[in-house]
Structure 1
Amino acid sequence: MSFLPSMNHLLAADLWSENLQPLIKACAHSHDLQQWECFPTSLTHMVKWASVTCHPTCSDRRRSHLMVYKTLPIPGPSGVLYPVSVHLYGFLERFSVGDFGNWDGDCTKAACAIQSLSISGVDNAGAWRNQLERLNLAATFASRILKIPLPAIQFRRHIHMQRKVFTKAHHTTAAHTNPPVNNSPQNTHLPKLPDYPWQWNGPLEILECNENGTISPIHEVLLSRGDFVEIDAEFDLVIVCTHAMRTHLCVFLTCKQILRLQMAQAVQHSGGRLPSPPTEVRHMRANASTQDHDVLPLSEPNLSSATPPLSSQLASTSTM
């Protein structure tokens, strides 16, 4: 994975609040970083550092390209491709990262099943802007290499990423014909997995960095909104053709790993402010009962200035 640097720090730790800087610096020693671990800060550097190539196994033409490292992270055969992945820091917002994400068990919807999450910078505007600029630099680079325009700025405000729950297989094998389902009493909640050609991608790796620096796996139910996390993400290049026969490039992020660096309560106690809850929108309805609205008490009438009822006016007129 590569780190998104600032102008003065290879991990951009200097842009985050003081209580978060030690957490980021503990993730890596900046003086030990190799060239491929330092994300570029300019398009000139990006050209020398990364490349966009055809995906060797993907049959989906929309996702037929990968952003890869030009310099191999580890020694290996020349035919191996290493997709560019980045470290992202932020506070958890909405997330659905269970083993099956948003999948409801309907096998006909396997293609739409995803795990997803969003992060934000809360009060760390400089650090957050730096991350967005680096991500948009990568999007611009891919757009110019492929000569396909971007419809708009790809990364604004919150950073959203997702991961497919199932992948469509291209070759039939005995292991993939009937996906195994563990029917033990401990796993009675597991749904029946889709048949071939769909393959379950397995659970998303979720980890926690303990106070002593050790990293251990945790269950997704332990995550909370406001946790400060490090995300390992890869770029997902998608070529979109509109109804007007115009082609443009959309750049998304695929989440590979979640590492919790600090719990939400600890962030709050150390001086950070958690994201405020979303504003509630209530729609007024016609013919609603009074129970649906706050009932205001009727004010007492001013008897001295009150207009007499019509019946009393008629009575006084008839006596005249």
Structure 2
Amino acid sequence: MSFLPSSNHPLGANLWAEDLQPFINNCANIHKLQQWECFPTSLAHLVKWASVARHPTCADRKCSHLIVYKTLPVPEPCGVLYPVSVRIYSYLNKFCVGKFGNWNSDCSKAAYAVQSLSIGSTGNTAAWRNQLECLNLAATFASCILKIPLPAIQFRGHVHMQRKVFTKVLHPPGDCVTPPVCNTPQNAHLPKLPDYPWVWNGPVEILDCNSDGTISPIHEVLLSRGDFVEIDTEFDLVVIWTHTSRTHLRVFLTCKQILCLQAAHSVQISNMARPPSHTEIRHMRANTTTEDHHTTPQFSLDQHETGPPPSSQVPGLFAE
């Protein structure tokens, strides 16, 4: 996975709010980052860093290309491609990332089953804009390499990601991935999976960063809207043919992994734990007199001492 840098920080952490910067900085040692882990900041650098290759197994010719790493420090087996993946930081918005996503167990609709999520800036405008610029740089790069124009800016505002629950394959189903089946009663209603050529892609990896810095897998029900997360995502290149025989390129993001860095309820608790205000409170009182049958309001300042009230003024307590 590669990090999206800013002009002054390899992880882009300096653009986020101060309370979020430690979560991002703890994700990697910036002094030990390798070249492939640092996403380029210019098209000239990106041309040397990545390439666009034909997908070796995709049956859909609209999605037959990948953005892949050009050089990696590990020995690369012959014929193996490593798609570029980037880490995006944001607040979790709407999501549907269960094992089978939005699939309703109808095998005839396996092609439309997806796991999905959306993320946004939530006030961190500079940090969010920086990430969008990096994503759009990748889209521009793919467009230039394939010589297929982009219809518009691909990433702006909120970003939506999705991942196919099932993949249509061309090879025999000898090595199909099957979900873990347990004979306990709670799994009695596990849906029947579609037959060949559809293969289940497995669950999205969902992780949590513990207070001691260790990372452990969690169930999707523990995610909440407003969690500050790190998303590992890959680029999906889709060639669209219009009714006028023109083509254009669309670039989408596929979510591979979700790492929760700060839970939304932790933010709420920290906001509630602020110390009580010591601001002095004064009330205006109107005293009336009836001299000569005229009512004249006379205002006086009634200052309350700071500190707890006497026990007789606290509901539920009585002076002894």
* Bucket of the pairwise TM-score, normalised by the shorter protein: 0.7 to 0.9
Q: Given residue 238 of structure 2, which amino acid in structure 1 is its aligned partner? A: V
Q: Normalising by structure 2, what TM-score?
A: 0.82
Q: 2:140 matched to 1:130?
A: no
Contact 2:173 2:197 in 1 (8 A): no
Which whole-Å CA distance do the structure 1 matches of 2:161 and 2:180 have between them?
Answer: 28
1:268 Cα shift? 3.6
Which whole-Å CA distance do the structure 2 matches of 1:145 and 1:39 have between them?
Answer: 18
Q: How does 1:188-207 map to 2 (within 5 A)?
A: 188-207=188-207
Q: 2:146 matched to 1:146?
A: yes
Q: Determine the structure 1 residue equivalent to 2:42.
A: 42
Which whole-Å CA distance do the structure 2 matches of 1:108 and 1:183 have between them?
Answer: 25
Q: Determine the structure 1 residue equivalent to 2:253.
A: 253
For the structure 1 residues 37 and 179, does the alpha-carbon distance in structure 2 shift closer, same or farther, using more than 3 Å as the test? Answer: closer
**Identity across matched positions, percent:** 71
Which whole-Å CA distance do the structure 2 matches of 1:77 and 1:180 have between them?
Answer: 28
Q: How does 1:216-255 map to 2 (within 5 A)?
A: 216-255=216-255
Q: Determine the structure 2 residue equivalent to 1:182.
A: 181
Which whole-Å CA distance do the structure 2 matches of 1:104 and 1:154 have between them?
Answer: 30
Q: Determine the structure 2 residue equivalent to 1:3.
A: 3
Contact 2:179 2:202 in 1 (8 A): no
What does the per-residue CA deviation read over 1:14-50, in whole Å, with 9 as the maximum and x for residues that have no partner?
0000000000000001110000000000011111100
What does the per-residue CA deviation read over 1:36-87, in whole Å, with 9 as the maximum and x for residues that have no partner?
0000000111111000011111121001101001112422234321100000
Which whole-Å CA distance do the structure 2 matches of 1:181 and 1:91 have between them?
Answer: 30
Q: Find the residue that maps to 1:145 and give its secondary structure.
A: helix
1:209 Cα shift? 0.2
1:90 Cα shift? 0.3
Contact 1:4 1:11 in 2 (8 A): yes
Contact 2:58 2:169 in 1 (8 A): no
Q: Determine the structure 1 residue equivalent to 2:102.
A: 102
Which one is further off, 74-83 or 233-242? 74-83
Q: Find the residue that maps to 1:132 and give its secondary structure.
A: helix
Q: Find the residue that maps to 1:144 and give its secondary structure.
A: helix
Which whole-Å CA distance do the structure 2 matches of 1:56 and 1:200 have between them?
Answer: 19
Q: Find the residue that maps to 2:3 and give its secondary structure.
A: coil
Which whole-Å CA distance do the structure 1 matches of 2:271 and 2:42 have between them?
Answer: 34
1:210 Cα shift? 0.3
Q: How does 1:1-320 map to 2 (within 5 A)?
A: 1-176=1-176, 182=181, 184=183, 185-270=185-270
Q: Given residue 150 of structure 2, which amino acid in structure 1 is its aligned partner? A: L
Which whole-Å CA distance do the structure 1 matches of 2:6 and 2:22 have between them?
Answer: 16
Which whole-Å CA distance do the structure 1 matches of 2:9 and 2:59 have between them?
Answer: 40
Which whole-Å CA distance do the structure 2 matches of 1:157 and 1:174 have between them?
Answer: 43
Which whole-Å CA distance do the structure 2 matches of 1:4 and 1:180 have between them?
Answer: 33
For the structure 1 residues 180 and 50, does the alpha-carbon distance in structure 2 shift closer, same or farther, using more than 3 Å as the test? Answer: closer
Contact 2:59 2:169 in 1 (8 A): no
- Considering fraction of residues, name the structure with more strand: 2
Query: Where does structure 1 lack aligned partners over 5 or more consecutive residues?
Result: 273-320
Contact 1:136 1:155 in 2 (8 A): yes
For the structure 1 residues 188 and 51, does the alpha-carbon distance in structure 2 shift closer, same or farther, using more than 3 Å as the test? Answer: same
Contact 1:19 1:270 in 2 (8 A): no
Q: Given residue 207 of structure 1, which amino acid in structure 2 is its aligned partner? A: L
1:180 Cα shift? 7.1
1:172 Cα shift? 1.3
Query: Where does structure 2 lack aligned partners over 5 or more consecutive residues?
Result: 273-320
Contact 1:11 1:30 in 2 (8 A): yes
Which whole-Å CA distance do the structure 2 matches of 1:95 and 1:213 have between them?
Answer: 25
Contact 1:206 1:259 in 2 (8 A): yes
Q: Normalising by structure 1, what TM-score?
A: 0.82
Contact 1:5 1:38 in 2 (8 A): yes
For the structure 1 residues 270 and 151, does the alpha-carbon distance in structure 2 shift closer, same or farther, using more than 3 Å as the test? Answer: farther
